[in-house]
């Protein structure tokens, strides 16, 4: 599709500096801009690209004042990054949406498929499943018996959703993810044997959740593993059995949450965070990359880092000490030598 600067400015409630009839039909990074492309400038360290970019239109913040001539038409908005994201969403929605059921798909007779749904090649939908309106289930996905998926969901290729799980409205699950696999439950019987504990619960995913590729969310032993509305999970994340993740919490790649832990709402977990089982993380907590959390975080809006995790300010002070350890070791060795020398002198 093609858009004019005028139509974009009207959609974003922005102001035009340049030709309102300038047209674009694609997007590009500002440093890789070309004719017909729309770019944005939000970070000042990229400002030098705006004077050489070949992009036809560039979104900028309202307070941006160029220090040299700019060839591109500028659209000034309150927040260039957010506005660019809004435009990408608009472009995505304008693309044709697949509909219909591929002849190779297997849908059990007791399953219910909503209106305007797309069921791709070699999809399997089990007994008593309910698939909502306008869902898109891409090829080679598996939907187990009794699973319910709400309206407007996107299930990408190769996703496996085990039996009796529940997915809310407008959720996206990316390729290769597994929802509802058995939790890691084994009871030791002897020094070398473990008895598997049946995992009888399910997984509940509420509305507007996005789950990245190759993420695994285990079903509960009893009850439900729950991902609350608005949660965003990156790729390669492991959520253990009976975990609850609060509303609008976000997690970066390779994070792992052990069984029965409760993560509050509006939390932010960076990459490779590890949380042990049976603990609680307070609302609004921010946890730095590669942190290991061994116990409850009770204070809301805490910022913690390190392994074992500690208050971020304490961690920064500790790193100063870590860097000085070789120097401190030398001083201690010298002091010990002096003490030994003084002892011999006294005796």
Residues catalogued as catalytic: 241
Please count the CA atoms within 13 angstroms of the CA of 36 that sit on its side-chain side.
4
| 194's tokens | 């473990």
| Eight-state DSSP code of residue 153 | -
Helix H or strand E encompassing 211: strand 210-211
* Phi/psi at 222 (5° precision): -140, 150
What is the H or E stretch that residue 131 is in? strand 130-131
Helical ranges in 194-311 per DSSP H? none
CA distance 34 to 49: 12
Q: Closest Cα partner for 218 from 174, 253, 276, 179? A: 179
Asked if 260 contacts 277 with a C-beta cutoff of 8 angstroms, the reply is yes
- Take residue 120 and report the two structure tokens written for it: 């791709």
Q: What burial class does residue 167 get, using C-beta atoms within 10 Å of its C-beta: 0-12 exposed, 13-18 middle, 19+ buried?
A: buried
Q: Are 234 and 211 in contact (CB under 8 A)?
A: no
Rounded to whole angstroms, how far apart are CA atoms 237 and 211? 9
Whether 16 and 74 have beta carbons less than 8 Å apart is answered as yes
For residue 308, say if its preceding peptide bond is cis, omega within 30 degrees of 0.
yes
Strand partners, 112: 130
Would you state the structure tokens that stand for residue 285, as one six-digit string? Answer: 């907590």
| Cα distances (angstroms) measured from residue 8 to each of 3, 34, 157, 236 | 7, 18, 33, 36
**SS3 of residue 346 by DSSP:** helix
């Amino acid at each position: 599709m093609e858009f004019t600067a005028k139509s974009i400015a009207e959609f974003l409630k922005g102001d035009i500096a340049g030709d309102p009839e300038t047209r674009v039909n694609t997007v590009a990074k500002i440093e890789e801009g070309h004719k017909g492309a729309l770019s944005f400038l939000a970070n000042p360290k990229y400002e030098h690209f705006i004077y050489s970019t070949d992009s036809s239109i560039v979104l900028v913040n309202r307070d941006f004042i160029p220090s040299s001539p700019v060839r591109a038409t500028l659209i000034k908005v309150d927040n260039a990054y957010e506005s660019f994201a809004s435009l990408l969403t608009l472009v995505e929605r304008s693309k044709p949406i697949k509909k219909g059921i591929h002849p190779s798909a297997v849908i059990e007779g007791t399953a219910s498929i909503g209106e305007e749904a797309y069921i791709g090649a070699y999809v399997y939908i089990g007994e008593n499943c309910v698939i909502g309106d306008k869902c898109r289930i891409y090829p080679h996905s598996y939907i187990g018996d009794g699973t319910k998926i709400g309206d407007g969901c996107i299930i990408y290729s190769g996703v496996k959703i085990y039996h009796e799980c529940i997915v809310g409205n407008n959720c996206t699950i990316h390729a290769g993810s597994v929802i509802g696999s058995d939790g890691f439950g084994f009871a030791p019987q002897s020094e070398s044997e473990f008895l598997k504990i049946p995992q009888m619960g399910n997984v509940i995913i509420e509305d507007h959740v996005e789950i990245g590729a190759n993420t695994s969310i285990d079903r509960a032993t009893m009850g439900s593993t729950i991902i609350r509305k608005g949660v965003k999970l990156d790729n390669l994340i492991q959520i253990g059995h009976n975990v609850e993740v609060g509303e609008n919490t976000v997690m970066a790649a390779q994070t792992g949450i052990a069984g029965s832990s409760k993560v509050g709402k509006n939390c932010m977990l960076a990459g490779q965070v590890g949380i042990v089982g049976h603990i609680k993380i307070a609302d609004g907590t921010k946890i730095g990359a590669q942190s290991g959390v061994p116990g409850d975080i009770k204070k809301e809006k805490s910022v913690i880092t390190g392994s074992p995790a500690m208050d971020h300010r304490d961690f920064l002070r500790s790193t100063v000490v870590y860097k000085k350890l070789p120097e401190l070791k030398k001083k201690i060795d010298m002091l010990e030598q002096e003490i030994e020398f003084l002892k011999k002198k006294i005796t």
